[in-house]
Structure 1
């Protein structure tokens, strides 16, 4: 197989490097799929970080087919796989060319696409032929245009049509954007076999604590303002204000890891905070049936990362206009809110991210068509706010009441009957 023009480097001698963080983003669909799965990795080399990440994602019952970047290096790549041990060798098959591969659940392009728009389109069409129904194609493209402007434009176009997730990896040389594309509908039942996806928007500090990229940016802005103030007025202590604010501002965007309950019937909290109300109501925007709504208030001291309370498929997303009343008050019912609608095995489930008196910015990272695992991060709300979960009233029973404290992704707020 000759190398496609769409996967050459950004210059004659400047290939696009894929570091460990970008490799994890490229293989996240493999890593999160907990059931028996099949994968196809195209354009691999023995020292490829993407190949290493794909192998790490394998579980018993999985199968991975690997197509080398250089057809002359097939035997070398086979020897490399064999050297990983019998367990890996039994699950990884190296083929001479893409034509020998079978249809799989996940296709990963190991090398970023940097060709023209037409070359990129042809390459995507070629790779998409090897997807099973509902399968995902994962590819990377340089985040900055340069000579990859055509590839970037084509991926943006296809992402708008078929995208089920995107990750910007700044810690890479050069920075890359990873696109996950699904060309045919996925079965809702698959969501129950998924683990929460790896998110590059979450920057690790320790094994159990991360900071959302919004917090990194906010902290950097505060430090920058302090530096400018110190330069502009060296004799003043005004620079201390933004300098001292940097740490608490960044801490507001903390994103801790959470242990999900093992009970498959459990519905988890979508956010940290205090339960404001548990009530039955009707909302014609989501259907004719009655819903059980559990509203949680997030103070400025709570973790503001929002999570999916259940496993399901995102089938709609819309923003409703409104005011900015204090989130703990009744008037917050009419605040600006973003609604993520999920189709699940138990019916329609909705997560409403509501703004508050201070909160004016909602971040939602779950595009329509994406499959969400229970407890998966879907976005955040900046500063004090409220998150509501709507469940089919005839299918779920609440296990919390007004005044209870809950922890997003860990606390059980209801159970399916």
Structure 2
């Protein structure tokens, strides 16, 4: 397991704060109130460990399949429905939404091989990620991938109540590989996939998706 580059500043600051607070607690409490010291020190360790784990990149065997759409992120499938998209597409699409909790791996990955034909950042609100309007009203970053088959897939990285920074590495004209990094969302949110109506959906609501491994759909 490695740590993601997006965590460098956060981890450095967290390490310094953890060490400083530990030293202060030691001098203030260790000799007079050792039990309270260890309770607070344990709490600090747990928080520090959660911050470190948030930026983890686990070792995985990714699914590589030209006929498959892989999960763009880790998380729980919370929406599968036919929708009328609010951008790029004029035809109806199947939306699959994956909710990421703060405990999930937060690297976002390209669901297919293809050319990036659309890349757009949208300012917006910070509704909780499971809110029905978060797909259209929250801060988000959208990509459209044009697969070699001619099919197009749209992804939306969507901010939530805790997620305050969306990072996207793709640019229009890029030719990207399935499961390479698309970006990163800090501290919990969701990613939507908008798929052609003829895509065969392989997951159901409540399933746990593993980014780059789980096959969301096939064509």
User: TM exceeds 0.5?
Assistant: yes
The match for 2:145 among 313, 317, 342 is 342
Q: Secondary structure at the match of 1:316?
A: strand
The equivalent of 1:399 in structure 2 is 202
Aligned residue runs from structure 1 range 18-417, under 5 A: 209-229=1-21, 235-236=27-28, 240=41, 244-283=46-85, 285-333=87-135, 334-345=137-148, 346-394=150-198, 396-416=199-219
| Change over 3 Å in CA distance of 1:280–1:250 after alignment to 2 | same
Moved more, 407-416 or 243-252: 243-252
Partner of 1:72: none
User: Displacement of 1:255 after TM fit?
Assistant: 1.2
Q: Give the secondary-structure state (helix, strand or coil) at the position aligned to 1:236.
A: helix
In structure 2, list runs of 5 or more residues that go unmatched: 30-36
Question: Is the contact between residue 222 and residue 242 of structure 1 (CA under 8 Å) also seen in structure 2?
Answer: no
RMSD: 2.2
CA distance in 1, matches of 2:215, 2:170: 22
How many corresponding residue pairs? Answer: 207
Q: Measured at CA, do residues 304 and 289 of structure 1 come closer, stay the same or move farther in structure 2, by a change above 3 Å?
A: same
Q: TM-score, normalised by structure 1?
A: 0.46
CA, structure 1 residues 232+258, in 2 after alignment: closer, same or farther (shift >3 Å)? closer
C-alpha distance in structure 2 between counterparts of 1:260 and 1:374, whole Å: 9
C-alpha deviation, 1:299, in angstroms: 0.9
Asked whether the equivalents of residues 156 and 193 of structure 2 are also in contact (C-alpha less than 8 Å), the reply is yes
**Which one has the bigger helix percentage?**
1
Contact 2:70 2:217 in 1 (8 A): yes
Larger-Rg structure: 1
